[in-house]
Amino acid sequence: MKHLDHFYIDGRFVLAAGRTTRKVISPVTEEPVGTIAMGTARDVDLATAAARKAFQSYSRSTREDRLSMLRRILDLFDQRAEAFAQLTTLEMGAPISFARNAQIAGSRAHIADTIRILEHYAFERRSQRTVLMMEPVGVCGLITPWNFPVLQIVTKVIPALATGCTIVLKPSEYAPISPMLFAEVLHDAGVPAGVFNLVNGDGPTVGEAMSSHPDIDMVSFTGSTRAGVAIAKAAADTVKRVHQELGGNSANILAPDVDIETAVTKGVLGAYRNGGQSCTAPTRMLVPRQLHDEAVVVAKRAAETVVVGDVNDEATTLGPVMNDRQFERVNAMIDEAVREGATLVTGGSGRPSSLNRGFFVRPTVLANVTPTMGVAREEIFGPVVSLIPYDGLEEAIRIANDTPYGLAAYLQCRDLVLAKEAASRLRVGQVMINHPAWDASAPFGGFKQSGNGRECGEYGFEAFLEIKAVGGLHEG
């Protein structure tokens, strides 16, 4: 049992005595694995004051000093990688192999990529007769989700540190244990007092206080579209910068020329990644109508290869969804789809028959789904794939774009000229053609109600910079 009865403020782990506490529930066992103290607006005030004071000196730190600090962070992160993986499995139920090879390995890759960018980034440049100075935006309020509890912290905190910003972090109250280990890494790496602060709590209390705080210059949030709207409204009165990475319901278009066995199998397994709890999960598989029935057979076979169960077994490929609310929601969406006329190919609502506890959802495939059904309109965040037949690529693109979201899309097509043209018409922030290798430096973010701004790579780095135009320095 992990007792997180402290916050990290102004370079110290501060006892949060007298605060309301909350149990951290394992989605595998449905039993408590820890308790956390829940912060208040007063805690946000203290953390923000520390960050504001530290900004005066840290914003003027040298590139070399920040690089040395980030390299120490990376070294300590590597030393504790297995501990991070074990905690990720404990608090959110990610299978240990996925925790190690994706959640934590991906986090490491983002730290290393930020170091690479900082080594060569031009903080001062000339544009015609004007000198442009790229300066840290200020005190940043960072609000992170539970589905990638370490990686999503890394993609915000590390570039903020690299650019000279100071930070108040609120991790998800559903997965707060690994974030506290991350705070220990930063502390041990010698991050100056006040530069990084962590306050646990919920959105309506701590999140709202951060979003509306007059001394926080920027809020970066990853989570649901509903919460993103509330944060933007709370931030409006202080006219702070707001970056949001919100929901998605990504289309996976299979062109008529694909190898159906390979394309469908990769699409199904990709949708089940992280228990389906990824905002870019390719949950809507758009299939040429003449290939639909063949795709159903392949999708069923792929889904039934998934290993559900002991998350500490390296052979397990699918863990539970995060909590009881998510478990009930995913199952309700499956049942609703069947009532609306979708064909249940495999899976269905309820736990797998081999399990009697935990928020495990059966790996599910639905066929003959239409674009108006709930599973085709809403974010699912569970291991569910919907096969949607289409007639012609024009209709496929229209269906893919006919959603409030615009985070990601996938396209399986042998004709890369056609694929590039189709990608240019998809209203999303990221298009993945033929399942390419993951690129830590690719900018990540969406169109429409999937948010604004970008994380990762150089664009994510620049999210934490302001541009100052200085005239009169031109020579000649």
Residues contacting residue 233 through CB under 8 Å, at least 6 positions apart: none
Which residues are registered as beta bridge partners of 170? 143
Asked whether 97 and 316 are in contact (CB, 8 A), the reply is yes
> Is 124 one of the annotated active-site residues of the chain?
no
Only one residue has tokens 């990376």, namely 74
d(CA 82, CA 100): 7
Which two tokens mark 118?
């900082």
Asked whether 19 and 40 are in contact (CB, 8 A), the reply is yes
Cα dist from 245 to 41, 268, 274, 401, 445, whole Å: 24, 24, 18, 18, 6
Q: How deeply is 102 buried, as exposed, middle or buried, from its count of CB atoms within 10 A (0-12, 13-18, 19+)?
A: buried
CB neighbours (10 Å) of residue 36? 26
Which two tokens mark 33?
């694995």
Catalytic residue of the set 91, 245, 379, 455: 245
> Is 245 one of the annotated active-site residues of the chain?
yes
Edge-first strand order for the sheet with 430-433 is 343-346, 364-367, 384-390, 284-288, 251-254, 408-412, 430-433
Helix axes 63-79, 81-92, angle to 10 degrees: 70
Classify 361 in phi/psi space as left (phi over 0), alpha (psi -120 to 50) or beta.
Answer: beta
Residues contacting residue 429 through CB under 8 Å, at least 6 positions apart: 406, 407, 408, 443, 444, 445, 446, 447, 450, 454
Backbone φ and ψ for 76, nearest 5 degrees, come out as -70, -35
Q: Which of 241, 154, 166, 234 shows the shortest CA–CA distance to 466?
A: 241
Residues with catalytic function: 245, 279
